[in-house]
């Protein structure tokens, strides 16, 4: 576990609580920490253990993002808000300093745009600005662009959850680039960067991060073991792949901005990413051209 540097200033959380923050403190935009409502935390004790791991890693705020519309779990906005309130109370009672914001990992289904419009599907933080969208594991449905367009037509920004873990997008990253160019954002999973899901997923994470297709790194934690709420190790890998400023944007500034109701500016990322590495023959060609 890489511990972030401490000490930077004082800030206020979306819940109105004053906190001391540091440049190395994280906001986790994707975490299955609510107990007993999806395939994430099984019970309250596990959620509390996850929260302690998150705090130890430097995470100060976590969006609780249970699955919704995935054919197995249904977690409409009202239910998410109730569960978030209960977990906040338990964390307060235990003295664990982790802010929980409401969210959802919404599976990409034709009903999603209407559900967002009527308020039955949860936006990130319930701010009505951005929506975490999950694709199937292997495929991209034919109606994907239409659904993303209908979400964007409401003034909402879709955030594609862990595209590096989708088989089709690993082979066809240009499809993700099209979505990003039309205004979508994307989130890489920290443990994809560190290799937990295998070399192919890690290679795709590298290509997408260095290609400017990723705007957030998040834990997508499900448990207090193995798939834990840890961002620091993934952030360190992203810094190694790119540079300190890109890692800071993806792990700190953009997620913290989302928690404060600000959608990231993709141009900042484009101006920060290092230029693509050239092979020896490309360098040779440039010198002789
Ligand atoms: Fe997830």
Give 71 Cα–ligand 1 centroid separation in angstroms. 14
Tell me whether strands 9-12 and 18-21 are parallel, antiparallel or unpaired: antiparallel
CA quadruple 108, 110, 113, 117: dihedral, nearest 10: -130
Q: How far apart are CA 193 and CA 238, in angstroms?
A: 7
Least confidently predicted of 61-70, 197-206, 228-237, 274-283: 274-283
Query: In the beta sheet, which residues pair with residue 28?
Result: 62
Span 171-216, pLDDT tens digits: 999 999 999 999 999 999 999 999 999 999 999 999 999 999 999 9
Cα–Cα distances in angstroms (integers) from residue 197 to residues 14, 200, 201, in the given order: 33, 8, 6
Give 104 Cα–ligand 1 centroid separation in angstroms. 9
Span 15-53, pLDDT tens digits: 454 444 444 599 999 999 999 999 999 999 999 999 999
The residue count of the chain comes to 289
Q: What is the mean pLDDT of residues 241-252?
A: 97
Give 34 Cα–ligand 1 centroid separation in angstroms. 12
CA angle 19, 258, 32 (to 5 degrees): 85
Give 162 Cα–ligand 1 centroid separation in angstroms. 8
Residue 51 in domain: yes
Q: How far apart are CA 151 and CA 108, in angstroms?
A: 11
Give 133 Cα–ligand 1 centroid separation in angstroms. 10
Q: What are phi and psi of 288, to 5 degrees?
A: -95, -10
What's 179's domain CATH number?
3.20.20.140
Give 137 Cα–ligand 1 centroid separation in angstroms. 11
Give 221 Cα–ligand 1 centroid separation in angstroms. 7
Residue 4 in domain: no
How much is the pTM? 0.89
Structure confidence at residue 55 (pLDDT):
97
Give 8 Cα–ligand 1 centroid separation in angstroms. 31
Residue 97 in domain: yes
Positions of E strands within 119-261: 130-134, 157-161, 185-189, 216-218
Span 256-281, pLDDT tens digits: 999 999 999 888 998 999 987 666 66
Give 7 Cα–ligand 1 centroid separation in angstroms. 31
Structure confidence at residue 227 (pLDDT):
97
Residue 3 in domain: no
Residue 253 in domain: yes
Structure tokens at 156: 């909402």
Residue 198 in domain: yes
Residue 270 in domain: yes
Q: Whole-number mean pLDDT of the chain?
A: 91
The domain total for the chain is 1
Query: Domain range for residue 227?
Result: 9-288
Q: How far apart are CA 248 and CA 267, in angstroms?
A: 15
Q: Spell out the alpha helix ranges (H) of 31-137.
A: 44-56, 77-94, 112-118
Structure confidence at residue 276 (pLDDT):
73
The larger pLDDT score, comparing residue 4 to residue 163, is at 163
Residue 2 in domain: no
């Amino acid at each position: 576990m890489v511990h972030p540097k401490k000490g930077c200033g004082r800030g206020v959380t979306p819940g109105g609580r004053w906190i001391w923050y540091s440049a190395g403190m994280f906001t986790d935009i994707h975490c299955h920490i609510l107990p007993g409502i999806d395939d994430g935390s099984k019970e309250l004790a596990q959620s509390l253990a996850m929260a302690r791991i998150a705090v130890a890693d430097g995470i100060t705020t976590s969006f609780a993002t249970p699955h919704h519309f995935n054919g197995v779990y249904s977690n409409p906005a009202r239910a998410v808000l109730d569960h978030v309130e209960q977990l906040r109370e338990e964390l307060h009672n235990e003295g664990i300093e982790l802010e929980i914001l409401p969210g959802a990992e919404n599976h990409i289904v034709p009903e999603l745009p209407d559900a967002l419009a009527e308020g039955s599907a949860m936006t990130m933080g319930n701010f009505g600005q951005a929506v975490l969208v999950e694709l199937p594991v292997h495929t991209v449905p034919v109606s994907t662009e239409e659904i993303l367009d209908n979400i964007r037509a409401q003034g909402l920004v879709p955030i594609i959850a862990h595209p590096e873990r989708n088989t089709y997008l690993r082979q066809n990253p240009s499809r993700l680039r099209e979505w990003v160019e039309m205004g979508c954002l994307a989130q890489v999973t920290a443990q994809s960067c560190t290799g937990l899901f295998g070399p192919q997923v890690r290679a795709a994470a590298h290509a997408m991060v260095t290609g400017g297709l990723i705007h957030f790194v998040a834990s997508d934690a499900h448990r207090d073991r193995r798939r834990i709420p840890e961002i620091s190790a993934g952030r360190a890998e992203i810094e190694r792949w790119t540079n300190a400023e890109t890692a800071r944007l993806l792990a700190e500034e953009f997620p913290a901005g989302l928690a404060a109701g600000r959608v990231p500016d993709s141009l900042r990322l484009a101006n920060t990413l290092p230029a693509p590495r050239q092979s020896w023959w490309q360098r040779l060609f440039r010198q002789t051209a």
